[in-house]
Amino acid sequence: MSYEQTKYWSVDNFSGSEENLQLIKEAALWITKGEVVAFPTETVYGLGANALDESAVKRIFEAKGRPSDNPLIVHISQIDQLDELVLEVPEVAKQLMEHFWPGPLTLIFKKKEAVAPSVTAGLDTVAVRMPDHPVARKLLDAAGVPVAAPSANLSGKPSPTTAMHVYHDLKGRIKGIVDGGQTGVGLESTVLDCQAAIPVLYRPGGVTKEDLEAVIGKVKVDPSLLSDDQTPLSPGMKYTHYSPAGTLYLVRDQDKISELVTEAKRDGKRVGVLTTVEGKGRYEEADVVVLCGSNKDLATVANGLYDSLRKFDEQEAEVIFSEVFSYEGLGIAIMNRLEKAAGGQSPL
Protein backbone atom coordinates (compact mmCIF):
# COMPACT_ATOMS: atom_id res chain seq x y z
CA MET A 1 0.00 0.00 0.00
CA SER A 2 1.26 3.47 -0.85
CA TYR A 3 0.06 6.97 0.04
CA GLU A 4 0.31 10.04 -2.15
CA GLN A 5 1.11 12.02 0.96
CA THR A 6 1.98 10.99 4.50
CA LYS A 7 0.21 13.29 6.97
CA TYR A 8 2.40 15.08 9.51
CA TRP A 9 1.07 16.28 12.87
CA SER A 10 3.61 18.39 14.79
CA VAL A 11 3.05 18.43 18.56
CA ASP A 12 6.72 18.80 19.50
CA ASN A 13 7.24 20.17 23.03
CA PHE A 14 3.77 18.89 23.84
CA SER A 15 2.06 21.29 26.23
CA GLY A 16 -1.42 19.83 26.40
CA SER A 17 -2.80 22.75 24.42
CA GLU A 18 -6.19 22.32 22.76
CA GLU A 19 -4.55 22.65 19.34
CA ASN A 20 -2.13 19.81 20.05
CA LEU A 21 -4.89 17.66 21.51
CA GLN A 22 -6.96 18.10 18.35
CA LEU A 23 -4.02 17.03 16.18
CA ILE A 24 -3.50 13.93 18.33
CA LYS A 25 -7.22 13.10 18.12
CA GLU A 26 -7.06 13.36 14.33
CA ALA A 27 -4.14 10.92 14.24
CA ALA A 28 -5.97 8.58 16.64
CA LEU A 29 -9.05 8.64 14.43
CA TRP A 30 -7.02 7.17 11.56
CA ILE A 31 -5.91 4.33 13.84
CA THR A 32 -9.54 3.53 14.63
CA LYS A 33 -10.19 3.47 10.86
CA GLY A 34 -7.60 0.74 10.38
CA GLU A 35 -4.72 2.91 9.25
CA VAL A 36 -1.08 2.90 10.42
CA VAL A 37 0.30 5.96 12.23
CA ALA A 38 3.78 6.58 13.67
CA PHE A 39 4.04 8.19 17.10
CA PRO A 40 6.67 8.95 19.75
CA THR A 41 7.24 6.94 22.90
CA GLU A 42 9.91 7.41 25.56
CA THR A 43 11.96 4.64 23.89
CA VAL A 44 11.76 5.05 20.09
CA TYR A 45 9.05 6.04 17.62
CA GLY A 46 6.43 3.32 17.16
CA LEU A 47 4.39 2.36 14.11
CA GLY A 48 0.90 1.85 15.45
CA ALA A 49 -2.27 0.06 14.35
CA ASN A 50 -5.33 -1.33 16.14
CA ALA A 51 -4.08 -4.54 17.80
CA LEU A 52 -7.55 -6.10 17.52
CA ASP A 53 -7.83 -5.52 13.75
CA GLU A 54 -5.96 -8.13 11.70
CA SER A 55 -6.03 -6.20 8.43
CA ALA A 56 -4.70 -3.07 10.17
CA VAL A 57 -1.88 -5.01 11.82
CA LYS A 58 -0.88 -6.53 8.48
CA ARG A 59 -0.36 -2.99 7.19
CA ILE A 60 2.41 -2.55 9.78
CA PHE A 61 4.29 -5.53 8.36
CA GLU A 62 3.75 -4.28 4.80
CA ALA A 63 4.96 -0.76 5.58
CA LYS A 64 8.09 -1.91 7.40
CA GLY A 65 8.90 -4.92 5.24
CA ARG A 66 8.92 -6.86 8.52
CA PRO A 67 8.99 -10.68 8.50
CA SER A 68 5.57 -12.07 9.47
CA ASP A 69 7.01 -14.42 12.13
CA ASN A 70 8.35 -11.48 14.18
CA PRO A 71 5.78 -10.62 16.90
CA LEU A 72 4.76 -7.09 17.91
CA ILE A 73 4.32 -5.26 21.21
CA VAL A 74 0.87 -4.01 22.15
CA HIS A 75 0.71 -0.56 23.77
CA ILE A 76 -1.99 0.42 26.27
CA SER A 77 -2.75 3.55 28.27
CA GLN A 78 -4.93 2.01 31.01
CA ILE A 79 -4.33 -1.11 33.12
CA ASP A 80 -7.90 -2.33 32.59
CA GLN A 81 -7.14 -2.74 28.86
CA LEU A 82 -5.24 -5.89 29.83
CA ASP A 83 -8.63 -7.56 30.36
CA GLU A 84 -9.30 -7.74 26.62
CA LEU A 85 -5.75 -8.88 25.79
CA VAL A 86 -4.54 -11.43 28.34
CA LEU A 87 -5.91 -14.51 30.12
CA GLU A 88 -4.24 -13.81 33.46
CA VAL A 89 -1.80 -11.46 35.14
CA PRO A 90 0.76 -13.32 37.31
CA GLU A 91 1.54 -11.83 40.71
CA VAL A 92 5.12 -11.08 39.69
CA ALA A 93 3.81 -9.10 36.71
CA LYS A 94 1.59 -7.06 39.03
CA GLN A 95 4.63 -6.14 41.12
CA LEU A 96 6.56 -5.06 38.03
CA MET A 97 3.64 -3.05 36.64
CA GLU A 98 3.34 -1.22 39.95
CA HIS A 99 7.04 -0.27 39.85
CA PHE A 100 7.74 0.29 36.16
CA TRP A 101 4.48 1.15 34.37
CA PRO A 102 4.17 3.49 32.66
CA GLY A 103 7.70 3.02 31.38
CA PRO A 104 10.07 1.10 29.08
CA LEU A 105 9.16 -2.41 30.27
CA THR A 106 7.26 -4.95 28.14
CA LEU A 107 5.74 -8.00 29.82
CA ILE A 108 4.70 -11.25 28.12
CA PHE A 109 1.33 -12.81 28.99
CA LYS A 110 -0.90 -15.64 27.76
CA LYS A 111 -3.11 -14.03 25.13
CA LYS A 112 -6.84 -13.90 24.53
CA GLU A 113 -8.36 -14.65 21.13
CA ALA A 114 -9.30 -11.00 20.61
CA VAL A 115 -5.66 -10.15 19.80
CA ALA A 116 -5.10 -10.07 16.04
CA PRO A 117 -3.18 -13.23 15.00
CA SER A 118 -0.41 -11.31 13.22
CA VAL A 119 0.43 -9.45 16.44
CA THR A 120 1.65 -12.65 18.10
CA ALA A 121 3.05 -14.38 15.00
CA GLY A 122 1.24 -17.58 15.90
CA LEU A 123 2.36 -17.69 19.54
CA ASP A 124 -0.05 -18.21 22.42
CA THR A 125 1.45 -15.20 24.20
CA VAL A 126 1.26 -11.43 23.72
CA ALA A 127 3.78 -8.73 24.69
CA VAL A 128 2.27 -5.63 26.33
CA ARG A 129 3.58 -2.36 27.70
CA MET A 130 2.32 1.03 28.88
CA PRO A 131 4.49 3.83 27.45
CA ASP A 132 5.55 6.82 29.52
CA HIS A 133 5.28 9.63 26.99
CA PRO A 134 2.57 12.32 27.09
CA VAL A 135 1.89 12.18 23.35
CA ALA A 136 1.74 8.39 23.26
CA ARG A 137 -0.61 8.28 26.25
CA LYS A 138 -2.94 10.93 24.77
CA LEU A 139 -2.95 9.14 21.41
CA LEU A 140 -3.77 5.78 22.99
CA ASP A 141 -6.51 7.34 25.10
CA ALA A 142 -8.01 9.03 22.05
CA ALA A 143 -7.86 5.84 19.96
CA GLY A 144 -9.57 3.85 22.70
CA VAL A 145 -8.02 0.58 21.48
CA PRO A 146 -4.81 -1.29 22.29
CA VAL A 147 -2.22 -0.39 19.65
CA ALA A 148 0.34 -2.81 18.23
CA ALA A 149 3.52 -0.91 17.46
CA PRO A 150 7.03 -2.02 16.51
CA SER A 151 9.67 0.63 15.85
CA ALA A 152 8.72 2.97 12.99
CA ASN A 153 11.58 2.22 10.59
CA LEU A 154 12.17 0.00 7.61
CA SER A 155 12.90 -3.49 8.87
CA GLY A 156 16.55 -4.02 9.74
CA LYS A 157 17.46 -0.33 9.82
CA PRO A 158 18.32 1.71 12.95
CA SER A 159 15.22 2.50 14.99
CA PRO A 160 13.92 6.08 14.78
CA THR A 161 14.39 8.49 17.65
CA THR A 162 13.02 11.53 15.78
CA ALA A 163 10.02 12.05 13.50
CA MET A 164 12.38 12.91 10.65
CA HIS A 165 13.97 9.46 10.94
CA VAL A 166 10.47 8.01 10.45
CA TYR A 167 9.75 10.31 7.52
CA HIS A 168 13.00 9.33 5.83
CA ASP A 169 12.16 5.61 6.04
CA LEU A 170 8.39 5.49 5.66
CA LYS A 171 7.08 8.54 3.79
CA GLY A 172 4.45 7.39 1.31
CA ARG A 173 4.19 4.01 3.08
CA ILE A 174 2.03 5.02 6.08
CA LYS A 175 -0.94 7.28 6.75
CA GLY A 176 0.78 9.72 9.08
CA ILE A 177 3.43 10.69 11.61
CA VAL A 178 2.91 12.40 14.97
CA ASP A 179 6.00 14.50 15.69
CA GLY A 180 6.50 14.70 19.44
CA GLY A 181 10.18 15.61 19.39
CA GLN A 182 13.19 13.43 20.15
CA THR A 183 12.66 10.35 22.27
CA GLY A 184 14.25 9.96 25.70
CA VAL A 185 15.64 6.47 26.41
CA GLY A 186 16.64 5.92 22.78
CA LEU A 187 16.52 2.10 22.90
CA GLU A 188 13.51 -0.21 22.69
CA SER A 189 11.84 -1.42 25.87
CA THR A 190 13.04 -4.26 28.05
CA VAL A 191 11.08 -7.47 27.33
CA LEU A 192 10.44 -9.90 30.21
CA ASP A 193 8.47 -13.16 30.32
CA CYS A 194 6.93 -13.57 33.77
CA GLN A 195 5.30 -16.95 33.20
CA ALA A 196 8.20 -19.18 34.26
CA ALA A 197 9.16 -19.74 37.90
CA ILE A 198 12.19 -17.56 37.20
CA PRO A 199 11.24 -14.69 34.82
CA VAL A 200 13.21 -14.63 31.55
CA LEU A 201 14.75 -11.49 30.07
CA TYR A 202 14.38 -11.71 26.28
CA ARG A 203 15.48 -8.20 25.37
CA PRO A 204 17.46 -5.76 27.55
CA GLY A 205 16.39 -2.13 27.54
CA GLY A 206 15.92 0.96 29.68
CA VAL A 207 14.80 -1.10 32.69
CA THR A 208 17.92 -3.08 33.53
CA LYS A 209 18.27 -6.60 34.91
CA GLU A 210 19.46 -5.04 38.15
CA ASP A 211 16.32 -2.87 38.29
CA LEU A 212 14.10 -5.91 37.82
CA GLU A 213 15.91 -8.04 40.39
CA ALA A 214 15.62 -5.28 42.97
CA VAL A 215 11.84 -5.76 42.76
CA ILE A 216 11.23 -9.48 42.07
CA GLY A 217 14.48 -11.29 42.80
CA LYS A 218 16.36 -13.51 40.34
CA VAL A 219 15.88 -12.95 36.61
CA LYS A 220 17.23 -15.35 33.98
CA VAL A 221 18.86 -13.87 30.87
CA ASP A 222 17.98 -15.63 27.61
CA PRO A 223 21.04 -17.21 25.96
CA SER A 224 20.53 -14.47 23.38
CA LEU A 225 20.92 -14.29 19.64
CA LEU A 226 18.63 -16.78 17.94
CA SER A 227 19.60 -18.32 14.64
CA ASP A 228 17.23 -17.55 11.80
CA ASP A 229 15.66 -21.03 11.78
CA GLN A 230 14.23 -20.59 15.27
CA THR A 231 10.92 -19.04 16.26
CA PRO A 232 11.35 -15.74 18.15
CA LEU A 233 9.59 -15.88 21.51
CA SER A 234 9.30 -12.11 21.78
CA PRO A 235 9.76 -8.97 19.68
CA GLY A 236 13.35 -8.09 18.83
CA MET A 237 14.91 -11.53 19.24
CA LYS A 238 15.37 -12.57 15.62
CA TYR A 239 17.07 -11.21 12.50
CA THR A 240 19.73 -8.56 12.06
CA HIS A 241 18.40 -5.24 13.31
CA TYR A 242 19.43 -1.62 13.64
CA SER A 243 21.99 -1.85 10.84
CA PRO A 244 23.55 1.04 8.93
CA ALA A 245 24.15 0.55 5.20
CA GLY A 246 27.88 0.06 5.76
CA THR A 247 29.35 -3.09 7.33
CA LEU A 248 29.70 -2.68 11.10
CA TYR A 249 32.47 -4.32 13.12
CA LEU A 250 32.74 -4.24 16.92
CA VAL A 251 36.27 -3.91 18.28
CA ARG A 252 37.27 -4.77 21.86
CA ASP A 253 40.71 -3.18 21.74
CA GLN A 254 40.50 0.55 21.06
CA ASP A 255 44.19 0.60 20.13
CA LYS A 256 43.41 -1.79 17.25
CA ILE A 257 40.81 0.50 15.63
CA SER A 258 43.32 2.87 14.02
CA GLU A 259 45.13 -0.08 12.43
CA LEU A 260 41.82 -1.46 11.09
CA VAL A 261 40.86 1.95 9.72
CA THR A 262 44.18 2.23 7.87
CA GLU A 263 43.78 -1.25 6.36
CA ALA A 264 40.22 -0.52 5.19
CA LYS A 265 41.23 2.80 3.64
CA ARG A 266 44.08 1.05 1.85
CA ASP A 267 41.40 -1.14 0.28
CA GLY A 268 39.66 1.99 -1.00
CA LYS A 269 36.81 2.00 1.53
CA ARG A 270 35.18 5.05 3.09
CA VAL A 271 35.63 4.32 6.79
CA GLY A 272 33.72 5.38 9.88
CA VAL A 273 34.35 5.01 13.62
CA LEU A 274 31.74 4.99 16.37
CA THR A 275 33.19 6.26 19.63
CA THR A 276 32.29 8.41 22.65
CA VAL A 277 33.24 11.91 23.74
CA GLU A 278 36.19 10.31 25.53
CA GLY A 279 37.50 9.19 22.12
CA LYS A 280 37.19 12.60 20.47
CA GLY A 281 40.27 13.33 18.35
CA ARG A 282 41.55 9.78 18.62
CA TYR A 283 40.65 8.49 15.14
CA GLU A 284 41.56 11.36 12.83
CA GLU A 285 42.56 8.94 10.07
CA ALA A 286 38.91 7.86 9.66
CA ASP A 287 36.66 9.53 7.06
CA VAL A 288 33.72 9.75 9.47
CA VAL A 289 33.88 9.83 13.28
CA VAL A 290 30.62 9.88 15.23
CA LEU A 291 30.38 10.49 18.99
CA CYS A 292 27.38 8.70 20.52
CA GLY A 293 27.56 9.86 24.14
CA SER A 294 29.83 9.44 27.15
CA ASN A 295 31.28 6.25 28.62
CA LYS A 296 30.78 7.87 32.02
CA ASP A 297 27.02 8.02 31.44
CA LEU A 298 25.75 5.11 29.33
CA ALA A 299 22.27 6.66 29.24
CA THR A 300 23.73 9.24 26.83
CA VAL A 301 25.10 6.44 24.64
CA ALA A 302 21.71 4.70 24.58
CA ASN A 303 19.98 7.95 23.73
CA GLY A 304 22.33 8.74 20.84
CA LEU A 305 23.06 5.27 19.44
CA TYR A 306 20.50 5.00 16.63
CA ASP A 307 20.95 8.57 15.48
CA SER A 308 24.69 7.91 15.36
CA LEU A 309 24.25 4.80 13.21
CA ARG A 310 22.08 6.79 10.80
CA LYS A 311 24.77 9.47 10.50
CA PHE A 312 27.10 6.90 8.95
CA ASP A 313 24.53 6.40 6.19
CA GLU A 314 24.32 10.15 5.67
CA GLN A 315 28.11 10.26 5.28
CA GLU A 316 28.13 7.13 3.07
CA ALA A 317 30.49 5.13 5.27
CA GLU A 318 31.15 1.70 3.74
CA VAL A 319 32.95 0.15 6.72
CA ILE A 320 32.36 1.14 10.36
CA PHE A 321 34.41 0.18 13.41
CA SER A 322 32.74 0.61 16.79
CA GLU A 323 34.11 0.65 20.29
CA VAL A 324 32.36 -1.73 22.71
CA PHE A 325 30.80 -1.12 26.10
CA SER A 326 30.43 -2.78 29.49
CA TYR A 327 27.93 -5.65 29.72
CA GLU A 328 26.64 -4.29 33.01
CA GLY A 329 23.50 -2.24 33.61
CA LEU A 330 22.39 -0.33 30.53
CA GLY A 331 25.52 -1.53 28.73
CA ILE A 332 23.87 -4.91 28.11
CA ALA A 333 21.11 -3.22 26.09
CA ILE A 334 23.60 -1.10 24.14
CA MET A 335 25.76 -4.12 23.27
CA ASN A 336 22.67 -6.16 22.35
CA ARG A 337 21.74 -3.53 19.74
CA LEU A 338 25.30 -3.17 18.44
CA GLU A 339 25.72 -6.95 18.12
CA LYS A 340 22.51 -7.19 16.12
CA ALA A 341 23.56 -4.24 13.98
CA ALA A 342 26.80 -6.10 13.31
CA GLY A 343 24.89 -9.20 12.21
CA GLY A 344 25.53 -11.14 15.40
CA GLN A 345 29.30 -11.33 14.99
CA SER A 346 31.43 -11.28 18.13
CA PRO A 347 33.70 -8.27 18.74
CA LEU A 348 37.12 -8.42 17.05
Q: Which residues contact 139 (CB under 8 A, 6 or more apart)?
A: 24, 27, 28, 31, 37, 39, 48, 147, 178
Phi then psi for residue 108, to 5 deg, are: -105, 130
Contact 203, 193 (CB under 8 A): no
294 is in an annotated binding site: no
Q: How far apart are CA 96 and CA 192, in angstroms?
A: 10
Q: How far apart are CA 343 and CA 348, in angstroms?
A: 13
Distance of CA 129 to the CA centre of its chain: 13
Contact 124, 149 (CB under 8 A): no
241 is in an annotated binding site: no
75 is in an annotated binding site: yes
Contact 87, 177 (CB under 8 A): no
Element at 201 (helix H, strand E): strand 200-203
151 is in an annotated binding site: yes
125 is in an annotated binding site: yes
234 is in an annotated binding site: no
43 is in an annotated binding site: yes
Contact 96, 215 (CB under 8 A): yes
155 is in an annotated binding site: no
Contact 215, 311 (CB under 8 A): no
The CA distances from residue 309 to 162, 163, 250, 316, 342, in Å, are 13, 16, 13, 11, 11
**2 class by beta-carbon count within 10 Å (0-12 exposed, 13-18 middle, 19+ buried):** exposed
129 is in an annotated binding site: yes
Q: How many CB atoms lie within 10 A of CB 196?
A: 10
322 is in an annotated binding site: no
For residues 57-89, one letter each, b for 16 or more C-beta atoms within 10 angstroms of the residue's C-beta and e for the rest, the string is bbbbbebbebeeebbbbbbbbeeebbeebbeeb
Q: For residue 235, is the peptide bond before it cis, meaning its omega torsion is within 30 degrees of 0?
A: no
Binding residues for ATP, by number, are: 66, 70, 125, 151, 159, 203, 242
Binding residues for L-threonine, by number, are: 43, 75, 129, 149, 189
Binding residues, by number, are: 43, 66, 70, 75, 125, 129, 149, 151, 159, 189, 203, 242
